[in-house]
Structure 1
Amino acid sequence: MKAVSVVKIRKELHHRSHDELMELCLRLSKFKKENKELLTYLLFEAHNEEQYIETVIEELDEQFETINTNSFYYIKKSIRKILRNLKKYARYSQKKETEVELLLYFCQKLNDFTPNIHRNITLSKLYDRQILSIKKLVAGLHEDLQYDYNLRLEELED
């Protein structure tokens, strides 16, 4: 079965009743964990972005604490998984400020991580890519926010 375009789905949803839409949303939430997470964000957390960021940061802290530091191989796998989750949470929000905040926190955690990630080429390059990503995101924000975020970026780069 081939999926139809978003435009066709939107047109079809206009023809459905309120109860049918509710049933469709509930059915969607049963299929994938990501669908349920997105619905949770939209229904319960979208109205308070600061609280959402704090919740994600707490989860990131927990994930960083569980990293197996016996070898850089396990560290790389864990950090990639953390970054994948972070990107997913930022995608739910669709706000550039949220993504910048989360990436800045992630980079700060990487800088403070022991053993030092800069002793490993792969982790060092991953860190550098995230810094570049933050710079690109910051360039599209309001000037006041750019100034604040650039100050924090300078601290990370030192």
Structure 2
Amino acid sequence: MEIDLSNKSINLLKALASPVRIQIIEFLSKREMNIQELSEHLNLSKSIVSSHVKKLEAAQIVETRRIPGKNGVQKISLLRVNYLGINFPNRKQSAYSHYDMALPIGHYVDYNVSPVCGLSTTKKYIGHFDDPKYFMDPERVNAGILWFSKGFVEYKVPNLLKRSETI
């Protein structure tokens, strides 16, 4: 049996929300039983067991048949399903949506650094060591590393999200 997770499936889910009804399902998975047998296995009164079986019948998990017995007609309960799948609604958006933005090291917009400081590409130094004015050298956009003992570099990150998207 497969169900959709919706208001229509609430009764079925409620029927499964009882330890006694789970035990009834376990017993009926082994063999068909009448209310008397279930009552003895569960150590509960026949009226309580009958009430639980009715809830399982309403959820279409258990089926009850009437068959001739010693003293008239007896109700035999049997398990109607052997599998239950729950289909969750499709997500409208990814649970972990994200947006990546990478800025090269040399694409800062402001700085205030003090020696010891410097910049370098992967192949050569940019300017001279310990001279903060080289932090404005046009080649800084190719920097692969920068260092300073005191100060800051400031980056401005563009917000490229669409108007309909939120952070």
TM-score by length of 1: 0.20
Higher relative contact order (CA 8 A, sep 6+): 2
Bigger fraction of residues in strand = 2
Larger Rg: 1 or 2? Answer: 2
Bigger fraction of residues in helix = 1
